[in-house]
């Protein structure tokens, strides 16, 4: 199992070194770090092998016969690792999960029971960002933007709004104001 310092090294390799803070999770194999540019959970994939909806990445670990990890190299590290066979063994496909703090953190709360006091917030984030219906709507919106769909509103201000085809329209559609922008809807029929 990863130690706290090995998990911290993995977090800092991805999210930046300096000013890193750790928040206890009380769950074996799960660590939370806030680094200089970002943060999130580092989950040991050998302790939690089937984390639904999360994609494991693979680092390298050097272990001793007891299975204790003595060195760990995160997936995005370029440093080399030396080891002494037969006293140590190199594992090139050691699984870990990076669950960043913006959206993916909800998977750790929902599936691993970390921070149960944030469960309702995690379920809301999961529904808004990771469930199939919003994902399909975001894909429709991305496709419409790419194809220049004139029914997709991409920006708005008090004077009017712009659509994905690059056109400006005035006034705002009925029921919308600058404080209630029309891009919160996926499609708005033009007047």
Per-residue pLDDT of the chain (191 residues; tens, 9 = 90+): 899 999 999 999 889 888 999 999 999 999 999 998 899 999 999 999 888 888 888 888 999 888 889 989 888 777 777 888 888 898 889 999 999 998 899 999 999 999 999 999 999 888 888 777 666 666 666 777 777 777 777 777 777 778 778 888 887 767 666 565 555 443 443 33
Cis upstream peptide for 87 (omega within 30°): no
What backbone torsions phi and psi does residue 61 show, to the nearest 5 degrees? -135, 145
Tell how far CA 2 is from the center of its chain: 20
Which pLDDT belongs to residue 136? 63
Q: How far apart are CA 97 and CA 71, in angstroms?
A: 18
Residue-level pLDDT at 180: 55
Look up residue 107 and give its two tokens. 């998977």
Residue 146 burial by Cβ neighbours in a 10 Å radius (0-12, 13-18, 19+): exposed
Q: How far apart are CA 148 and CA 160, in angstroms?
A: 18
Q: Is the Cβ–Cβ distance between 98 and 108 less than 8 Å?
A: no
Q: Please, are residues 60 and 72 in contact by the beta-carbon 8 Å criterion?
A: yes
Helix and strand numbers (H, E) in the chain are 4, 9
pLDDT at 190: 38
Structure-token pair, residue 190: 């033009």
CA dist., res. 25 & res. 93, Å (int): 25
Run of H or E including 11: helix 4-15
- CB burial of residue 71 (10 Å; 0-12, 13-18, 19+): middle
Token representation of residue 62: 């050097």
Contacts of 103 (CB under 8 A, 6+ apart): 125, 129, 130
Q: Which tokens belong to 85?
A: 């066979």
């Amino acid at each position: 199992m990863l130690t706290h310092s090995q998990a911290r090294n993995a977090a800092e390799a991805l999210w930046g070194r300096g000013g890193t803070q750790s928040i206890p999770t009380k769950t074996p194999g799960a660590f939370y770090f806030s680094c200089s540019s970002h943060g999130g959970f580092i989950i040991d994939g050998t302790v939690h092998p089937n984390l639904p909806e999360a994609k494991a990445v693979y680092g390298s670990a050097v272990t001793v016969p007891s299975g204790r990890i003595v060195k760990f190299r995160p997936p995005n590290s370029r440093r080399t690792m030396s080891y002494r066979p037969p006293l140590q063994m190199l594992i090139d496909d050691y699984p870990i999960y990076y669950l960043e703090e913006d959206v993916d953190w909800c998977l750790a709360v929902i599936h691993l029971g970390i921070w149960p006091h944030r469960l309702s917030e995690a379920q809301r984030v999961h529904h808004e960002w990771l469930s199939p219906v919003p994902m399909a709507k975001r894909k429709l919106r991305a496709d419409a933007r790419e194809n220049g769909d004139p029914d997709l509103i991409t920006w708005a201000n008090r004077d009017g709004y712009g659509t994905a085809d690059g056109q400006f329209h005035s006034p705002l559609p009925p029921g919308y104001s600058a404080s209630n922008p029309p891009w919160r809807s996926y499609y708005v029929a033009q007047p």
